Amino acid sequence: MTDTSYDRAPGDSSPLSGREGTTASHVGMYTLGLGLAVILTATSFWATNTSLLWVPGIPLGLTVLAIAQMGVHLVFFLHITTAPDNTNNVLALAFGVLIVFLVVIGSVWIMTDLNTNLMPSAELMNMHMQH
């Protein structure tokens, strides 16, 4: 039987090789993930507090850093990959992202609708001010 190379998270051992990874390699991969997460977090704080960056580009940079941070957490800590044995994990993650997207979009839609429907008209405000 040949050892087929699957998409594995860092620190995971091959399921076909019969060898488990050493504890030191697992700790090393978790430490690497922690280091990357700390670097990305520190970079985000630096980007918001520096005058070296173009101010309108900061939100886009923070978005990119946040997506990279999510990727680090998914791969290094949750071990979410595209390997055949992780199909359910990827589907659950996609469903979770869909639900969060729907809740955020729905909330923004409701708040916008309430804002336009609850604001009194200019004529009503002028009548109220005259009395």
Q: 19-70, pLDDT tens digit by residue? A: 555 777 888 899 999 999 999 999 999 999 999 999 999 999 999 999 999 9
Structure token digits, residue 61: 């940079």
pLDDT at 90 over 50: yes
Confidence of residue 76 (pLDDT cuts 50, 70, 90): very high
Contact 32, 77 (CB under 8 A): no
pLDDT at 127 over 80: no
Confidence of residue 12 (pLDDT cuts 50, 70, 90): low
86: exposed, middle or buried (Cβ count in 10 Å: 0-12, 13-18, 19+): buried
Question: Between 64 and 131, whose confidence is greater?
Answer: 64
Task: Output the pLDDT for position 13.
Answer: 59
Rounded to 10°, the helix 58-72/23-49 angle is 170
Task: Output the pLDDT for position 117.
Answer: 74
- Give domain limits for the chain: 1-81, 83-131
Question: Between 34 and 128, whose confidence is greater?
Answer: 34
pLDDT at 1 over 50: no
Contact 11, 21 (CB under 8 A): yes
Task: Output the pLDDT for position 44.
Answer: 96
